[in-house]
Amino acid sequence: MCGIFGYIGKRDNALDLVIEGLKKLEYRGYDSWGVAADMNGKLFIEKQVGKISEADLSIFMGKKVQMAMGHTRWATHGGVTQVNAHPHFSWDKKIVVVHNGIIENYEEIKEFVGKEKFISQTDTEVIAHLIAFYRQTMPFKEAVLAAIHKLKGRYAIVVMNVGEPYLIAARRGSPLILGVGKGEYFLASDIPAFLEYTQNVMYLDDNELAVVGQDVEFTNIETGKPIEKRLVNIDWKAESADKGEFEHFMLKEIMEQKDSILRAINQDDDEILEIAEAIKKSRGCFFSGCGTAGKVCMTGEYFFSMIANRHVNFASASEFPIYHHFLRPESLLVVVSQSGETADVLEAMDAAKKKGAKVLSIVNVAGSTIARTSDYSLKINAGPEKAVASTKAATSQLAVLMLIAYAIRGELQEGRRVLAETASAVNDMLNPRFLTYVKDVAESIKSHENAYIIGKAENYPMALEAAIKIQEVSYMHAEGFAAGELKHGPIALISKGTPCISIIANDEVKQDIVSNTMELKARGALIIGIGPERFKVFDQWIKVPDVGVASPLVNLVPIQLLAYYLGVLRGHNPDMPRNLAKSVTVK
Ligand code: M6R
């Protein structure tokens, strides 16, 4: 969470570049922002509460500098105020820091450097004062090293020392990437922020520090020794990170599912077969992820049972510690993550590695920490996902899990055929008439404060996912239930006109869920059915194609659209829901 951007190089509009970079990183946090530059040996700093994309930036007009840095914040320590926004600076206004992560021992460091020096309530400010403390007696790089040796917790930082012609970057536990252009460098929390300037990157790994000036030098923080870094070429296109003709990223990304599912199943056969073998051989296979990725894992549990006749254990990554004692060297942990940076997932991976177990990751962001630190990693190739609500990543993750399930059953090509047909069905479904129909459904329920969603078997996790989507984008209270559980309690919530969405695939449990839907209707619920077949019990019906066992993929698409339109019709920006951030790098 939080976005960092730094620039140093031949261009003299570094502040503009940083501002544009921060706008691209806003999905990581958007409650306040700030930038800093060295203006002829004096600190220039501007911080504001609110979104940078909505700020009046005329103050920066005509300012010429070749080195600058900035930050867009998702508050952890200290409220959303101008003074708590980053960058933070030392008492002498010489050391300036932007930070993503959490410094756990900040109280202790505050005592050490002197509480009277502090003006904010953040944990980050201690980094600036601590570096300044050591800088009194040491060169800049040594002062940064001395300071970070004292820090406990997670950080990605960029540091400027006013009067010195270079930036220092360091990381432990939070992402930071160096973009390498011709005669210029970019430091950012995520690649799309600088993709229009360069596709060449160097990844900072944990416990690495980079001095970035006319050239770049890497140092291992623990040993103090220099490190050789590899230049990696990223084959994403800059345009794919723009909204294009769409009003919001969320709608654009929903529409991209016309192609992204196909890209997800375009995996190397040998690699999929190797992974299928590793799963078959494992004794104790665990699926884990958070939020939407967690719901994908839970669906994977059903896919593996139905397609591969194989039991796997699902747990949300935040709840995974309860399983740590089951991990053994023969276990396999399968983690799913769009960003590849989710802190709870990284913790689950650490636990598995400590027990000698292997980790398979299914990720979207190439080169992310999760991708780079797992034993096997599959890319879903969905392209940049910018809206906070995960959409195209989810259907691609579902497709990859289903493909692996088919490979375990010994029918990889059949799995690919089923999924290719599903991708084509999604393509047909996403037509203007379908969008208008879903928008009308949203219009008919937008003034309600509660909505309930039911599903069964492989579509039960989709009911839970529908609730997440509606909650985060429209702020409507939404809850998902296993259809058969209604009569054990939740049905008491239903009164006349309560919107209830019933996901009914053409599978062997459909009659059960039709009966459960009737029970809702008998209590006055307004029933919105999603499925290939129209049942009398539906008041409104969102028709989806019949794709057999792949039904969660086609059911999820109208759910995403419904959430999107509910958000827009209720007056919210679906790309940046309140209180959330795209990448959750804190526990
Ligand atoms: O990047 P990840 O897939 O690991 O993120 C996991 C969750 O934070 C994410 O899916 C979140 O729930 C989304 N905002 C849901 O739309």
| Number of DSSP helices (H) and strands (E) in the chain, helices first | 16, 25
Q: Count Cβ neighbours within 10 Å for each residue of 148-169 and write b for 16 or more, e otherwise.
A: bebbeebbbbbbbbbebebbbb
Q: Pick from 220, 240, 260: which residue ends a domain?
A: 240
Q: Pick from 240, 264, 297: which residue ends a domain?
A: 240
Which residue, among 201, 113, 189, has the nearest Cα to 157 in the 3D structure? 189
Ligand 1 mutation target, pool 288, 290, 469, most atoms within 8 A of CB: 290
Instruction: Give the pLDDT score at 240.
Output: 63
Q: E strands within 424-521?
A: 450-455, 477-482, 499-503
Q: Pick from 404, 430, 456: which residue ends a domain?
A: 430
Segment 231-248 shows an average pLDDT of: 80
Higher pLDDT, 30 or 352: 352
Pair (96, 233) in one structural domain: yes
> How far away, in angstroms, is 292 Cα from ligand 1 center?
5
Domain count, the chain: 3
Ligand 1 neighbours (beta carbon < 6 A): 290-293, 337-339, 342, 345, 388-390, 468, 472, 583-584
Burial class of residue 177 in the structure, from the number of CB atoms within 10 Å of its CB (0-12 exposed, 13-18 middle, 19+ buried): buried
Instruction: Give the pLDDT score at 587.
Output: 76
Pair (192, 254) in one structural domain: no
Pair (343, 197) in one structural domain: no
As a whole number of angstroms, the distance between CA 388 and CA 110 comes to 34
pLDDT over 60 at 557, yes or no: yes
CATH number of the domain bearing residue 229 = 3.60.20.10
> How far away, in angstroms, is 338 Cα from ligand 1 center?
7
Residue 169 belongs to domain spanning: 3-240
> How far away, in angstroms, is 487 Cα from ligand 1 center?
31
Pair (417, 446) in one structural domain: no
Which atom of ligand 1 lies nearest, measured to the CA of 584?
A: 8
Instruction: Give the pLDDT score at 237.
Output: 67
| Residues carrying an active site annotation | 2, 582
Pair (161, 211) in one structural domain: yes
Contact 376, 358 (CB under 8 A): yes
Contact 344, 358 (CB under 8 A): no
For residue range 392-437, list pLDDT tens digits in order.
999 999 999 999 999 999 999 999 999 999 999 999 999 999 999 9
Pair (57, 24) in one structural domain: yes
pLDDT over 60 at 264, yes or no: yes
Pair (341, 370) in one structural domain: yes
Which residue, among 239, 233, 219, has the nearest Cα to 181 in the 3D structure? 233
Strand, helix or coil at 465? helix
Pair (220, 263) in one structural domain: no
Pair (364, 440) in one structural domain: no
Nearest-CA residue for ligand 1 atom 16 is: 389
CATH number of the domain bearing residue 340 = 3.40.50.10490
Segment 555-564 shows an average pLDDT of: 98
Instruction: Give the pLDDT score at 241.
Output: 65
Instruction: Give the pLDDT score at 238.
Output: 63
Pair (287, 414) in one structural domain: yes
As a whole number of angstroms, the distance between CA 335 and CA 350 comes to 12
Place of tokens 């790098």: 585
Ligand 1 mutation target, pool 347, 390, 471, most atoms within 8 A of CB: 390
DSSP state of 65: B
Pair (421, 443) in one structural domain: no
Pair (210, 330) in one structural domain: no
Q: E strands within 12-58?
A: 32-39, 42-49
Percent of the chain residues past pLDDT 90, beyond the cut: 88
> How far away, in angstroms, is 469 Cα from ligand 1 center?
11
pLDDT over 70 at 153, yes or no: yes
Confidence of residue 239 (pLDDT cuts 50, 70, 90): low
Q: pTM of the full predicted structure?
A: 0.85
447: which residues sit within 8 A by CB, 6+ positions away? none
**Cα angle value 88/24/157 (rounded, 5°):** 30
DSSP 265-306: H---HHHHHHHHHHHHH-SSEEEEESHHHHHHHHHHHHHHHH
Instruction: Give the pLDDT score at 173.
Output: 85
Which atom of ligand 1 lies nearest, measured to the CA of 290?
A: 6
Q: How many CA atoms lie within 13 A of 564 on its CB side?
A: 26
